[in-house]
Structure 1
Amino acid sequence: MHLRKQSYWVLIALLSLALILSACSGSKNNGASNTAPSDEAEQSSNTTSASAFPRTIEAANGKIEIAKKPERVAVVHWGYADSILLFDLKSAALALPFTEKSSALHTDSYKPYVDKLGELVIVGENTTVNMEALLSYKPDLIIAGNAINAEITDQLEKIATTVVIDEAVTDIWSNWQALVTKFGDILGQEDVAKQYIDNYNANLQTAKEKLAKVEGTVAFIQVRNNAVWLGGTKYLTQYYGSGLGLKAPTDPAMEEGVELSLEGLSKLNPDHLFLGYFNYVDKSLPAMTDDWEKSAVWNSLNAVKNKQAYAINGELAMGYGPIGNSYGVQAVLEALE
């Protein structure tokens, strides 16, 4: 009888302990949805990402196996820099479209992405890759383009695992969403790619609805130090057509874009003119329109007379990448809303 009673109280104690532990666990879980992930959760996320490897990628240079989660990623195609920064990387080496001093890396749009990197190394400018800097960086993965980096692909493959993206198939110059999706596949971060694309498309739709009543024509020009280029509707899809749906001037040059003289701009004579300055970051550089602005022709433009000419960062707003396009959509919305 004594043993039965003792067993009874032991059972009660165990049940009570189980209830207490369960309550504590439930309390922690209920609070987790309103707080940042714990270290344990982050470790779990990292483990999940690492478990996505090895993986095989279909690339322009064949089927490439990436053995483990890349920690040091070098992107040697200058047109890819914008897209790679979206992803969670500890270290990245980039080839930039222009010099580091005049690059978009220093803009407010890029800052959140640059700041989250533990290390950022510049290994090239435009089509020139600094092979010495690349070797010194010691990447474990290199991402390149089949056209831009054609002459050095063999050298790249000797340095580290190299994924060469077919620029035409991926349509990198007018479809950054496809490139970002490809990067997600390569890095095992498909969720990061999808989230950015979904958010961008939602913001684009909201902006389009807000600008539905904008009247008149809208043109975008790249303002460089020695030339001015009209942005074509074929490439600036974020602003025209299925993008923001803005109305372009009626002119055959509008589809592909063309180098413009002041007289050519006067012929277009848009109601709204976005001046995409390529010296937006580095004002020490000249702009072709500096002299134009002193002329009577310039001051006779509809957009100028009606104070509907807007200065924006041309490298970002008229570029090909997601960060630049996101900046551009927001800049256009703020100017026209």
Structure 2
Amino acid sequence: MSRWWGLLLLTLLGGMLDAAQARTLETAYGEVEIEGQPQRVVTLYEGALDTALSAGVTPLGAIATRGGDGVAAYLGTAADGIAIVGTARETNMEAVVALRPDLILASPRLPREQYALLSRLAPTVVPATSGFEAEAWKAEARLFARALDREATVNAALDAIDARARELAARQPPRRPRALLARWMPHGPMVMSTRLFATGLMAAAGFAVTDGGLVTEGRPHSDPLSLENLALIDSDWLFLATLNAEGEAAMAAARQTPAFARLDVVQRDRVMPVDGQLWSSASGPIAASRVLDDIAAALAP
């Protein structure tokens, strides 16, 4: 009889532990309940992959970065062995099913129809954030961390990023220098919104970030500018991103033109080439740290 009571007690304690580990997350498509630490994670959003890796979790599957056929290069060897299960535009559902996930971390732009399919496979977490809010990535990271049961690790990373941004801002002159982020495409540069991940970090690091009045509300970037209109991107600092070889070739050609050479920011050597995958497509704690690395290099004496 005593053995029976012992087994019953262990069962009850186990149930109580599971209940304690269970958590309910508020997501874009309602409440999602998750128990324990998921072991078979699939990420369908670059910010989710970044957050998972920063939390010490290596997903089984992820989507390819924009402009590439694998995950973003800035993640390095931390992302080795992760299967590609689609792109930001299209998920390979068969590939996701084959991985037998116990948690899916998705983009805030995931359509409801896809959510309905994915949530049948595993708890699917979709942030209820806007892609055009500079601080949205932090809310997403905290939500993903809670889903992964790794809140302490991710919160510590976010605190470190905030502290480093403040340190960089302290290096800036009293009048905050104007800065602009542009992504160079084959047809010319597109000015990026001031309400994005990277431009938000630029502002946190002490720049007065501008889009030159060229970005329409609710859009991530302007239309491509012609070489005749390059003066519109002149500023104290210009961060120039490219996504692929075609963009790099177009920017290299533009650099040889008189219109580019006449820019005040060029003459003062304040043009900083940056990785387009990192600066205009990524988000998350690891990406934030890399962006701040680039800013620190720009501000170095």
TM-score range normalised by the length of the shorter chain: 0.7 to 0.9
Partner of 1:277: 242
Deviation larger for 313-322 or 184-193: 313-322
Q: Which has the bigger relative contact order, CA under 8 A and spacing at least 6? A: 2
Change over 3 Å in CA distance of 1:233–1:65 after alignment to 2:
closer
One-letter code aligned to 1:270: S
* CA distance in structure 2 between the partners assigned to 1:273 and 1:172 by the alignment: 21
Alignment TM-score, normalising by the size of structure 2: 0.79
Which of 211, 214, 222 in structure 2 is aligned with 1:258?
Answer: 222
Which of 32, 54, 57 in structure 1 is aligned with 2:25?
Answer: 57
Partner of 2:100: 138
Partner of 1:329: 292
Partner of 2:76: 111
* CA distance in structure 2 between the partners assigned to 1:67 and 1:175 by the alignment: 25
Partner of 1:232: 193
Alignment TM-score, normalising by the size of structure 1: 0.72
Q: Deviations over 1:224-251 (max 9, x none)?
A: 34442112323312112xx122134694
Percent of paired sites with the same residue:
23
One-letter code aligned to 2:173: A
* CA distance in structure 2 between the partners assigned to 1:177 and 1:195 by the alignment: 12
Q: Is the 8 A contact 1:72 1:92 kept in 2?
A: yes
Q: Deviations over 1:97-135 (max 9, x none)?
A: 32554642x33xx126426xxx52211112200111111
Q: Is the 8 A contact 1:77 1:127 kept in 2?
A: no
Partner of 2:13: none
Change over 3 Å in CA distance of 1:125–1:54 after alignment to 2:
same
Change over 3 Å in CA distance of 1:164–1:315 after alignment to 2:
same
One-letter code aligned to 1:238: L
Q: Is the 8 A contact 2:216 2:222 kept in 1?
A: no
* CA distance in structure 2 between the partners assigned to 1:212 and 1:255 by the alignment: 30
Q: Is the 8 A contact 1:79 1:96 kept in 2?
A: no
Bigger-Rg structure (1/2): 1
Partner of 1:92: 60
Matched, 1:267 2:229: no
Aligned residues: 277
Partner of 1:70: 38
One-letter code aligned to 2:298: A
One-letter code aligned to 2:288: N
Structure 1 residue 146 displacement after superposition: 5.2
Which of 251, 254, 268 in structure 2 is aligned with 1:292?
Answer: 254
Partner of 1:177: 138
Q: RMSD of the alignment, in Å? A: 3.0
Change over 3 Å in CA distance of 1:206–1:112 after alignment to 2:
farther
One-letter code aligned to 2:79: V
* CA distance in structure 1 between the partners assigned to 2:63 and 2:37 by the alignment: 22
Change over 3 Å in CA distance of 1:320–1:77 after alignment to 2:
closer
> What is the correspondence of 1:148-159 to structure 2 with a 5 Å cutoff?
148-159=110-121
One-letter code aligned to 1:63: E
Q: Is the 8 A contact 1:81 1:96 kept in 2?
A: no
* CA distance in structure 2 between the partners assigned to 1:132 and 1:173 by the alignment: 34
Matched, 1:191 2:152: yes
Which of 127, 132, 135 in structure 2 is aligned with 1:165?
Answer: 127
Structure 1 residue 268 displacement after superposition: 3.7
* CA distance in structure 2 between the partners assigned to 1:162 and 1:201 by the alignment: 29
Q: Is the 8 A contact 1:181 1:194 kept in 2?
A: yes
Q: Is the 8 A contact 2:25 2:33 kept in 1?
A: yes
One-letter code aligned to 1:73: V
* CA distance in structure 2 between the partners assigned to 1:103 and 1:91 by the alignment: 12
